[in-house]
Structure 1
Amino acid sequence: MENNFEKMLENYLFNEVKVGTVVEGVVVRSTDTDVFVDFGWKGEGVIPTDELVKEPSEYKPGTKINLLVLRINEEEGTALLSERRVYLRKARELIKEKFENGEKVIGKIKERVKGGYKVLIDNVIEAFLPGRESLIRSGDKIPEDYLEFKIIKFNASRKKLNIVVSRKIIVDEMIDSFYSNRKPGDVIEGLVEKVEKFGAFIRIAEGITGLLPNSEVSYDTSLTVEDVLREGQSVKLLIKDIDRNKKRIILSLKALMPDPWENIEKKYPIGEVVSGIVKKIMPFGFFVNLEPGIDGLVHISEVFWGRQGRIQDVVEEGDVVKVIVKDVDKENRKLSLSYKEAKGDPWKNIEEKYPVGNVVTGVVGAILNSGVIIDLEEEISGFCPISELSWKYVEKPEEVVTIKQKVKAVVTSLDKDARKMRLSIKRATQNPWKLFVENYKEGDIVTGKIVKKVKKGYIVEIDDIEAFLPETHALEEKNVGDQLTGRILKIVEDKEIYKITISEKLKEEIEQLKELSEKANAERVVSLEGKVKNANSTDSREE
């Protein structure tokens, strides 16, 4: 009996659901293409996308909707339903009401037609969108999303419905509303539309674009939009500046980040030794990055203790260095740092390291007209006057030394307070003048080479010293490089050296006199021998 009753009940329910009737359904679930409902029948109701008024994802479980039964599949136990056809009956009145109240409607552009586009409002009512009201440029794709429109024309008759809509009015109202209500400091969300070298254009809404300049990307000035953003990325930004008249918006990403300069005095107190990376070398100093967004300047005066040199010889970009915080200017976001103080003063114990009289080794760092600068170590240099380069006469320092040449020198004087050191290259070797006068005296014969022609004579190099050959004492005109032999005319002491004059003629004259003397002596001997012979002959005859 019970089985018969259940069967009669099922037949009754099934027969009551007929094609063309309107039923109320409750959403059970949805997919990308269909919405499934329970409408009081034993089977399941299915509403395909083209029979919906909204997107399937907008239908939440439990939502009640009125539906028209289109078809029943008894074998599968399913019913094809339509929300759109039920809604169509009252859609005209709703759309008319929205037109009269100036309200916007939701629709989707379906296709291009002559003069514009066909739009489907609420998925049921067709409308015309003129091209000039579409904001779609030639060549652009038709938007696939649902959009808001404003009805600008509504004519309805029994057989025909003529609706014209505008997208431009909606966007213009939205733009006016944005610029009227938004202010600096507001946080907005946008889409990265285009990345350029100087910044990025952010699409805040249709018709509203702002610029995010590189300077507003991060407190770390080395970062640009190319480092942190990509086209199509969604990002939150702060409105830095907004110009309602020019419709211009400047955005900031770093304004939403913690400001590294907030507690700068506590993080980097004056006198503190800190570490950083050499970021950029400039002619006036170099910048050190202590942390993202915090850079300090080491002025060139804080690089070297003594003579200023090339910064690139001390540090390179990318080097990790220690510096001392000299000054903090939070308001202007400036840090003054010292490289030399962090390293310590190399002149502190200079007397112990380089006592006067010691022989030191260094490298020629600079050549001047007055002498050369010799680098002994980093930050410690000494000056060697041109008179202390060689025991010989030097007209130009380049005659004796070259840049980067390794030399030995004697420390002749030291002024710690003035950071000055005097050196002598020549005193690191034995004085050749003293050695010469120990081995030679006036009248001695010497041999040398002409090294220079000067006014009224020649300079002759003899055993590492230089002597003067007067032009009047040369046998003939000389050329540089000529060898000669002469006699020392005069040796005159002049402080640490000697002025030596030689004569080629005197040597020749003395040799000639010697020859004459020897010849005369020889002739005298012959004459005496003859007289002796004659005397002996006479004596023999007399006998």
Structure 2
Amino acid sequence: MSSATAQRAPSRDDFAALLDESYGGSDALEGSVIKGRVVGIEKDVAVIDIGLKTEGRVPLKEFTGFGRDPAPQVGEEVEVYLERIENALGEAVISREKARREESWVKLEKAFESNEKVEGVIFNQVKGGFTVDLDSAVAFLPRSQVDIRPIRDAAPLMNVPQPFHILKMDRRRGNIVVSRRTVLEESRAEQRHEIVANLEEGQVIEGVVKNITDYGAFVDLGGIDGLLHVTDIAWRRVNHPSEVLTIGQTVRVKIIKINHETHRISLGMKQLLEDPWQGIEAKYPIGAKFHGRVTNITDYGAFVELEPGIEGLVHVSEMSWTKKNVHPGKIVSTSQEVDVQVLEVDPVKRRISLGLKQCLQNPWEAFAEKHPVGSIVEGEVKNKTEFGLFIGLDGDVDGMVHLSDLDWNRPGEQVIEEYKKGDVIKAQVLDVDIEKERISLGVKQLAGDPFATASVEDGGTVEIKKGAVVTSEVIEVKESGIDVKIVGTDLTTFVKRAELARDRADQRPERFAVGEKVDVRVTLFDRKARKIAVSIKALEMAEEKEAIAQYGSADSGASLGDILGAALKAREGEAAKKKGKGEE
């Protein structure tokens, strides 16, 4: 071999042979990243010599996409991905994009393992989210991971380099899922921590109302939000924060509480104002009456505002004298102006108990004034119970007629069946208990008490008492005796067979007729126990005794018949004498 031959430069075939020798054949290079040199630029394509039998072509946009690097120059060394040694055109199939992707996967896996942020560019919107270029590795960004709050317009985020966190990687499938939200939350947490560290409870600062909810408002304190609860907006009742605040409004608030672990901040506005509950007992003494406005109605009562920031509760039991089982909403309405009386004040619990009915006249007092005991009232039967009748009276109050006050003689259980709901009846007021809210009425009292006095002949009156002789009328004849009614009264009683006559032979009920007048002697009269007993036998025995005393005894030689006959004649003479005076 000549020296010229020994000194010649290695040819392309020599270089290929060396590669084959190094890599065990050029086919082993397929699917790997190799180095090549730019040997020419043709329009938008770079021609790259990778040291094999053929050259490859790569679009320039694979080098410059998303503003990465400037276009390569002729002679510059670059890394490319070798897909095939030779295609149908005799050229190598290479890609700068895939080479960069292979490099990126290695870097991304390291970042994923160490939980480091990576930089990428959102370049397209797809179903359910966006695609992100992570230096040639394409990742999926779910819509829920774009921002802390839902976004309406993603245009400002497109084609802008920004940090992401890798949530999941699968190299075999080529899947990468990233999040922009976690980066923002991390940044926000750091910012919140720094801001919270500079705040302290009791501090007064200004903020901007950022959002309004049913339970309060969120106020931006310069990078961190604080909650202004609806109960801390004002001392008075605020039904909804929008009544007082608007979004964008600048407010002065006091920091009530800071939770350094959760970074939650509680704010208050009313704390910057004078507490209206100071000296509340002096302003609202028990028993005093005030004018207020109904602010809220519940099942158990109604709240009445006495002044801004001061509300009291009127319990349902203190709303009406007569409406006991009625919802408060049927007695008062929201915003209604009412007069109330202070019943109790608790400055520690910040509670005031009020009464509405106390500002109205007690209907039982009014009834007692208008209808004293003994007066006659009229009302409708509202209800029948096992113990009496309830009668509706003036002033929306009820009175009760007990069974025992329905009739003097008949049992109440029997008499009450004669009444029905809706009947209008009269009754006498027997008692009014204002404290217990009870009115006792009586129906039988309208007819007078038959045990009080009894009328007799000549229009006179006589008090019935034990031993008195009265005239009775037979109203019923029974086998065991007779029922009689004392003439001139409503008193009735039963005369047993043994009391019908002195002689046993005359003790026959059938010898009396209904309607027959019979003189009887009162043997028992107990007004308190309401009992009366009469006897014909007792009368005959008394008359016998009187006759013996007046006309002599049997010892004088006169028979009992003579004595009784004389007594009877004297009695008939007195009767005829009275009759003659009457005719005159």
Same structural fold, with TM-score higher than 0.5 when normalized by the shorter chain? yes
Q: CA deviation at 1:510?
A: 7.8
Q: Tell me, yes or no, if the aligned pair for 1:304 and 1:379 is still in contact at 8 Å.
A: yes
Match of 1:482 in 2: 423
Q: Tell me, yes or no, if the aligned pair for 1:104 and 1:150 is still in contact at 8 Å.
A: no
Which stretches in structure 2 are left out of the alignment for 5+ residues?
A: 1-10, 20-33, 63-69, 73-78, 407-414, 461-578
Q: CA deviation at 1:175?
A: 2.9
Which of these residues, 220, 223, 239, is aligned with residue 290 of structure 1? 220
Matches within 5 A, 1:34-433: 102-103=35-36, 121-122=46-47, 150=81, 162-167=90-95, 169-179=98-108, 188-194=119-125, 200-209=130-139, 211=141, 217=147, 221-222=148-149, 224-229=150-155, 233-241=158-166, 247-251=176-180, 254=184, 260-261=191-192, 263-265=194-196, 268-273=199-204, 274-277=206-209, 279=211, 281=213, 286=216, 288-291=218-221, 293-298=223-228, 318=247, 323-330=253-260, 332-338=262-268, 341-342=271-272, 345-351=275-281, 353-356=283-286, 357-363=288-294, 365-368=296-299, 372-376=301-305, 380-385=310-315, 387-392=317-322, 394-395=324-325, 401=331, 404=334, 406=336, 407-433=338-364
Which of these residues, 480, 493, 504, is aligned with residue 443 of structure 2? 504
Q: CA deviation at 1:428?
A: 0.6
Aligned residue identity for 2:94 = S
Q: CA deviation at 1:241?
A: 4.4
Q: CA deviation at 1:249?
A: 4.2
1:316/1:122 Cα in 2 relative to 1: closer, same or farther (>3 Å)? same
State the aligned residue count: 395
Aligned residue identity for 1:412 = L
Write the distance in 2 (CA, Å) between the matches of 1:329 and 1:456.
66
1:230/1:317 Cα in 2 relative to 1: closer, same or farther (>3 Å)? same
Secondary structure in 1 matching 2:373? coil
CA shift digits 1:24-73 (9 cap, x unpaired): xxxxxxxxxxxxxxxxxxxxxxxxxxxxxxxxxxxxxxxxxxxxxxxxxx
CA shift digits 1:478-527 (9 cap, x unpaired): 44443222222x225453x664322233225589x99x99x969xxxxxx
Confirm whether residue 456 of structure 1 aligns to residue 387 of structure 2.
yes
1:290/1:180 Cα in 2 relative to 1: closer, same or farther (>3 Å)? closer
Write the distance in 2 (CA, Å) between the matches of 1:312 and 1:191.
40
CA shift digits 1:194-233 (9 cap, x unpaired): 2676x6432233333263775663xxx44x34445458x2
Q: Tell me, yes or no, if the aligned pair for 1:210 and 1:251 is still in contact at 8 Å.
A: no
Q: CA deviation at 1:309?
A: 9.7
Aligned residue identity for 2:220 = L
Q: Tell me, yes or no, if the aligned pair for 1:126 and 1:163 is still in contact at 8 Å.
A: yes
1:226/1:397 Cα in 2 relative to 1: closer, same or farther (>3 Å)? closer
Q: Tell me, yes or no, if the aligned pair for 1:324 and 1:338 is still in contact at 8 Å.
A: yes
Write the distance in 2 (CA, Å) between the matches of 1:203 and 1:449.
90
Write the distance in 1 (CA, Å) between the matches of 2:169 and 2:582.
144
Q: Tell me, yes or no, if the aligned pair for 2:55 and 2:91 is still in contact at 8 Å.
A: yes
Q: Tell me, yes or no, if the aligned pair for 2:302 and 2:316 is still in contact at 8 Å.
A: no
Write the distance in 2 (CA, Å) between the matches of 1:258 and 1:335.
14
Aligned residue identity for 1:103 = G
Match of 1:469 in 2: 401
Q: Tell me, yes or no, if the aligned pair for 2:86 and 2:93 is still in contact at 8 Å.
A: no
1:444/1:238 Cα in 2 relative to 1: closer, same or farther (>3 Å)? same
Write the distance in 2 (CA, Å) between the matches of 1:364 and 1:455.
43
Write the distance in 1 (CA, Å) between the matches of 2:326 and 2:82.
95
1:256/1:423 Cα in 2 relative to 1: closer, same or farther (>3 Å)? closer
Aligned residue identity for 1:410 = Q
From the two aligned structures, give the one with the greater strand fraction.
Answer: 1
1:375/1:485 Cα in 2 relative to 1: closer, same or farther (>3 Å)? same
Q: CA deviation at 1:388?
A: 3.0
Which of these residues, 420, 431, 449, is aligned with residue 491 of structure 1? 431
Write the distance in 1 (CA, Å) between the matches of 2:394 and 2:126.
78
Write the distance in 2 (CA, Å) between the matches of 1:313 and 1:155.
73
Q: Tell me, yes or no, if the aligned pair for 1:373 and 1:384 is still in contact at 8 Å.
A: yes
CA shift digits 1:341-372 (9 cap, x unpaired): 3565442343355333113334273455xx52
Q: Tell me, yes or no, if the aligned pair for 2:207 and 2:253 is still in contact at 8 Å.
A: yes
Q: Which has the larger radius of gyration?
A: 2
Q: Tell me, yes or no, if the aligned pair for 2:341 and 2:359 is still in contact at 8 Å.
A: yes
Match of 2:374 in 1: 443
Q: Tell me, yes or no, if the aligned pair for 2:120 and 2:164 is still in contact at 8 Å.
A: no
Q: Tell me, yes or no, if the aligned pair for 1:120 and 1:127 is still in contact at 8 Å.
A: no
Identical pairs, percent: 18
Write the distance in 2 (CA, Å) between the matches of 1:332 and 1:104.
57
CA shift digits 1:372-418 (9 cap, x unpaired): 24332676443445553333372455696366483432112212123
Secondary structure in 1 matching 2:103? helix
Q: Tell me, yes or no, if the aligned pair for 1:359 and 1:428 is still in contact at 8 Å.
A: no
- Alpha-carbon RMSD across the aligned residues, in angstroms, is 5.4
Aligned residue identity for 1:163 = E
Write the distance in 2 (CA, Å) between the matches of 1:230 and 1:391.
69
Secondary structure in 1 matching 2:400? strand
CA shift digits 1:4-32 (9 cap, x unpaired): xxxxxxxxxxxxxxxxxxxxxxxxxxxxx
Secondary structure in 1 matching 2:160? strand
Match of 2:552 in 1: none
Write the distance in 2 (CA, Å) between the matches of 1:468 and 1:509.
19
Q: CA deviation at 1:248?
A: 4.8
CA shift digits 1:142-166 (9 cap, x unpaired): xxx999854566679xxx9821213
1:264/1:123 Cα in 2 relative to 1: closer, same or farther (>3 Å)? closer
Q: CA deviation at 1:533?
A: 11
Write the distance in 1 (CA, Å) between the matches of 2:122 and 2:221.
29
Write the distance in 1 (CA, Å) between the matches of 2:55 and 2:305.
90
Secondary structure in 2 matching 1:102? strand
Write the distance in 2 (CA, Å) between the matches of 1:129 and 1:109.
9
Write the distance in 1 (CA, Å) between the matches of 2:426 and 2:437.
19
Write the distance in 1 (CA, Å) between the matches of 2:405 and 2:190.
87
Q: Tell me, yes or no, if the aligned pair for 1:278 and 1:319 is still in contact at 8 Å.
A: yes
Q: Tell me, yes or no, if the aligned pair for 2:312 and 2:351 is still in contact at 8 Å.
A: yes
Q: CA deviation at 1:109?
A: 11
Secondary structure in 1 matching 2:364? helix
Q: CA deviation at 1:467?
A: 1.9
Write the distance in 1 (CA, Å) between the matches of 2:354 and 2:400.
28
